Amino acid sequence: MDQNKELKKAGLKVTLPRLKILQILQDPENQHISAEDVYKILIEQGEEIGLATVYRVLNQFDDAGILNRHHFEGGKSVFEISHKDHHDHLVCLKCGKVVEFEDDIIEERQELVAKQNNMKLTHHSLYLYGECTDDNCEQLD
């Protein structure tokens, strides 16, 4: 229950919408969740929090580094609590499954490439798209 600290540390006042949204993001069920989906969950929970507020709070969390924003294919942004180390993503285009991975060699090469091109790297985005060969990979949504 130290979400309060989490918010304060980020320089954000503790308010109900921020708390609720933070809770939702922290639920392991909800890794890689869109703003719209956060909103839907709030509605289900009976909270009266506007969609605009959800976007606002997500942006604040992003600025504060509490979460990471991803642009998977398909237009909308997807948010993810940043509790772990840096990692990249594999996305199955059929079932939508998202797998996280980390590869030091790739990271290393990226730095090298940047340096070779006189660029100071601030961040990167790497998404691998494909089809997973799991039995339960089902076309959904």
> Can you say which residues are annotated as belonging to the binding site for Fe cation?
86, 88, 107, 124
Tokens of residue 124, six digits: 């990167």
Which residues are at the interface with its own copies (CB under 8 A)?
71, 73, 90, 92-93, 99, 101, 103, 105-106, 109-110, 113-114, 116-134
Dist CA 94 CA 124 (whole Å): 25
Please choose which of DNA, its own copies, none residue 33 contacts, taking the beta carbon within 5 to 8 angstroms, the exact cut-off set by kind.
none
Rank residues 31 and 114 by Cβ distance to DNA and give the closer one.
31
Please state the separation of Cα 103 from the chain's center in Å: 19
Task: Determine the residue type at 97.
Answer: K
Task: Determine the residue type at 94.
Answer: K
- Binding residues for DNA, how many (CB under 7 A)? 23
Q: Which of 5, 9, 15, 103 binds DNA (CB under 7 A)?
A: 15
For residue 76, state whether it binds DNA (rule: CB under 7 A). Answer: yes
Coil, strand or helix at 33: strand
Please choose which of DNA, its own copies, none residue 9 contacts, taking the beta carbon within 5 to 8 angstroms, the exact cut-off set by kind.
none
Closest approach of Cβ 75 to DNA, in Å? 5
Write the CA distances from 41 to 13, 49, 128, integer angstroms.
Answer: 22, 10, 28
Residues 6+ apart with CB under 8 A from 77: 34, 35, 69, 70, 71
In the complex, which residues of this chain contact DNA (CB under 7 A)?
12-18, 34-36, 48-53, 55-57, 59, 75-77
